[in-house]
Amino acid sequence: MNIVDCENVSVRYPGAGRTAVAGMTTHVQRGQWVNIVGPNGCGKTSLLHALARVLPVEAGRITVADIDITASSTRNLLSPAAARHRRHLACTVALMPQTPTIPEGMDVYDYVLLGRHPHSRVPGKHDARVVQRCLDELNLHDYSGRFVSSLSGGERQRVSLARALAQEPEVLLLDEPTSALDIGHAQETLELIDSVRARRGLTVIAAMHDLTLTAQYGDRVLMMAGGRKVAEGAAEEVLTVSRIREIYGASVAVTTHEGRPVVIPRRPSGN
């Protein structure tokens, strides 16, 4: 059963000449993990932001957990039905942004607790338990009293993921979740996401740059270029030498380990 349906979606930033996402159609089943790849500026973040309803779509339709988030009725701030939809969506979809906004003077515990806001306006014991579990799962228990602004880039990224998981969403949107993480923390983080997915039927849609990690985690790869989908399918179908050369302009070798592609950058011949 699909939890996300994206039909012919286009996104354009105010005043921008060209669309950031154009004619995007994709469907994601509940519990699937889909990785979005493609070169810088190809539209990965814009697509995630459209799915999270952070960015309005110019054309097309997006349905998340049976809510048409592009319907004009859900945009009416004064309508009680629209307010119900927004609340339902906030409980259903969590976005871990590429660059999280960190409020000044907020400690890690309170920042992760923000993830509970869509569920409980006044946090109770259950919310405290969820926050503690997320901090423990990401090995952040010792950081709980630290100001978020005092953390390293990688620590902040894990705190941002803890906040998104504390939201207990059905759909988790991750914008380059391991970009600031060392290889150990990257692996640990992706394993944790995968175990939450297996346990709770979480659906994951992630923008990724590391093509080997992309192949190791996830059921499907959606490759974009210039705002459009250029390929979608199993990692071994999408991540081929010729396509990576064509779309990224990169020289790579692709081997296989345990049935999944491994993408190795190579210096162009002659160097």
Please report, as ranges, the residues that interact with ligand ATP according to CB under 6 A.
13, 16, 20, 38, 40-46, 207
Angle at 100 between CA 46 and CA 61, to 5 degrees: 25
Our CB check for ligand ATP shows the closer of 43 and 169 to be 43
Chain centroid to Cα 134, Å, comes to 17
CB neighbour class for 256 (10 Å; exposed up to 12, middle 13-18, buried from 19): exposed
Q: Six-digit token pair at 177?
A: 């979740």
Residue 43 Cβ vs ligand ATP, minimum distance, rounded to whole Å: 4
Neighbours of 142 (CB within 10 A): 9
Closer CB to ligand ATP, residue 45 or residue 167? 45
- Which residues make Cβ contacts (< 8 Å) with residue 199, sequence separation at least 6? none
Give the nearer residue to ligand ATP in terms of CB position, either 42 or 193: 42
Q: How far is the CB of 35 from ligand ATP (least distance, A)?
A: 13
**Per-residue tokens: 257:** 């380990």
Q: Which two three-digit tokens encode residue 248?
A: 């990224």
CB of 175 to ligand ATP, least distance (A): 7
Question: Are 253 and 261 in contact, with CB atoms under 8 Å apart?
Answer: no
CB of 232 to ligand ATP, least distance (A): 16
Residue 76 C-beta: closest distance to ligand ATP, Å: 25
Rounded to a whole number of angstroms, the minimum distance from the CB of residue 184 to ligand ATP is 24
CA distances from residue 92 to 30, 67, 126, 201, 235 in whole angstroms, order as listed: 12, 10, 18, 12, 27
Considering the complex, state which of residue 170 and residue 176 has its C-beta at the smaller distance from ligand ATP.
176
Give the residue with the Cβ less far from ligand ATP, 64 or 208. 208
Size of the chain, expressed as the number of residues it contains: 271
- Contact, 91 vs 104, CB < 8 A? no
Q: Which is nearer to ligand ATP, 43 or 100 (CB)?
A: 43
